[in-house]
């Protein structure tokens, strides 16, 4: 009788075991290169390991608070964007969706500083314990062009100073905590020797009322 119990137990366990029918392959963050705070995004490939359709559930978990004024959205393979209020969604990974297997996490900083970590937990429908997780780490500074050695119409670096052209009306220099370091006007310059080594943001207001942001790396 004891052996029969063991056999039945093993059969029960075997019937509930399932090889994963999909896998996640996170990528390095993809930067949307612009001269403005536009949007940045990261993604993971969701790869089917079977020829049959796979129903997958993802659940969102913020590991840091969403910075003030930021918006987020996600896009599932073969699906449209979903707003930040969506915390769980079920989608099908099949032949029809294989043309687009990216699960994308978008962040819209809306001109504000910040850093965000978001975890997404994936599992197949009916197998909640077989979870795969991808963590996206997004910083506003990833989306700003570096002006380590710039020569453009708005700013120029000359040895140890940054020069502001007559195409801007105001320039503000911030540290990574959002603290204002200096404010300059059209035609002014700022001596970089006043900055400690590190990264800084230059916020530029142009004559046509547009806002641009550059990243300064002080060595």
For 67-86, how does the pLDDT look when each residue is reduced to its tens digit (9 = 90+)?
877 888 898 887 777 777 88
Residue 116 lies in a domain: yes
Residue 13 lies in a domain: no
Kindly state whether residues 159 and 118 are assigned to the same domain: no
Cβ contact 118:63 at 8 Å: yes
User: In the chain, how many domains are there?
Assistant: 2
Kindly state whether residues 137 and 148 are assigned to the same domain: no
Phi, psi for 67 (deg, rounded to 5): -60, 155
Q: How far is CA 198 from CA 177, 194, 216, in A?
A: 12, 12, 8
For 108-165, how does the pLDDT look when each residue is reduced to its tens digit (9 = 90+)?
877 676 788 999 999 999 999 999 999 998 876 665 555 444 446 777 777 677 888 8
What is the DSSP secondary structure assignment for residue 151, as one 8-state letter?
B
Q: What is the mean pLDDT of residues 196-209?
A: 81
State yes or no: pLDDT of 175 exceeds 60: yes
Kindly state whether residues 130 and 24 are assigned to the same domain: yes
Kindly state whether residues 29 and 129 are assigned to the same domain: yes
Residue 8 lies in a domain: no
Quickly list DSSP for 31-86: P--BSSS--EEEEEEEEE-SSS-EEEEEEEEESSPPPTT-EEEEE-TT--EEETT-
State yes or no: pLDDT of 56 exceeds 90: yes
Of 142, 168, 183, the last residue of a domain is 142
Residue 177 lies in a domain: yes
Kindly state whether residues 206 and 105 are assigned to the same domain: no
- Better-predicted residue by pLDDT, 157 or 104: 104
Kindly state whether residues 204 and 138 are assigned to the same domain: no
Q: How big is the chain by its Cα radius of gyration, in Å?
A: 24
State yes or no: pLDDT of 5 exceeds 70: no
Give me the chain's average pLDDT, please: 76
Q: What is the CATH number of the domain that holds 190?
A: 2.60.40.3080
Kindly state whether residues 122 and 138 are assigned to the same domain: yes
- Can you give the residue range of the structural domain that contains 93? 19-142
Residue 11 lies in a domain: no
In sequence order, the 6+-apart residues with CB closer than 8 A to the CB of 193 are 160
Residue 173 lies in a domain: yes
Residue 114 lies in a domain: yes
In sequence order, the 6+-apart residues with CB closer than 8 A to the CB of 136 are 29, 42, 105, 116, 117, 118, 119, 120
Kindly state whether residues 124 and 36 are assigned to the same domain: yes
Provide the whole-model pTM.
0.62
Of 142, 161, 183, the last residue of a domain is 142
- Better-predicted residue by pLDDT, 43 or 115: 43
Residue 9 lies in a domain: no
Residue 97 confidence (pLDDT): 61
Of 87, 117, 142, the last residue of a domain is 142
């Amino acid at each position: 009788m004891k052996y029969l119990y063991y056999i039945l137990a093993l059969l029960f366990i075997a019937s509930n075991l399932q090889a994963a029918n999909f896998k996640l392959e996170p990528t390095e963050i993809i930067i949307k290169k612009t001269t403005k705070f536009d949007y940045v995004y990261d993604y993971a490939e969701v790869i089917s390991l079977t020829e049959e359709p796979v129903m997958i559930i993802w659940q969102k978990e913020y590991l840091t608070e969403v910075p003030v004024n930021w918006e987020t959205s996600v896009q599932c393979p073969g699906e449209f964007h979903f707003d930040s209020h969506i915390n769980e969604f079920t989608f099908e990974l099949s032949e029809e969706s294989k043309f687009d297997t990216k699960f994308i996490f978008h962040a819209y900083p809306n001109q504000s500083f910040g850093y965000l970590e978001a975890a997404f937990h994936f599992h197949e429908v009916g197998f909640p314990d077989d979870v795969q997780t991808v963590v996206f780490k997004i910083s506003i500074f990833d989306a700003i062009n570096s002006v380590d050695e710039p020569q453009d119409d708005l700013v120029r670096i000359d040895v140890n100073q940054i020069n502001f052209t007559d195409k801007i009306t105001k320039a503000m220099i911030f540290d990574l905590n959002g603290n204002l370091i200096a404010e300059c006007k059209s035609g002014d310059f700022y001596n970089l020797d006043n900055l400690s080594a590190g990264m800084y943001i230059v916020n530029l207001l142009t004559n046509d009322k547009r806002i641009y942001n550059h990243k300064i790396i002080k060595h």
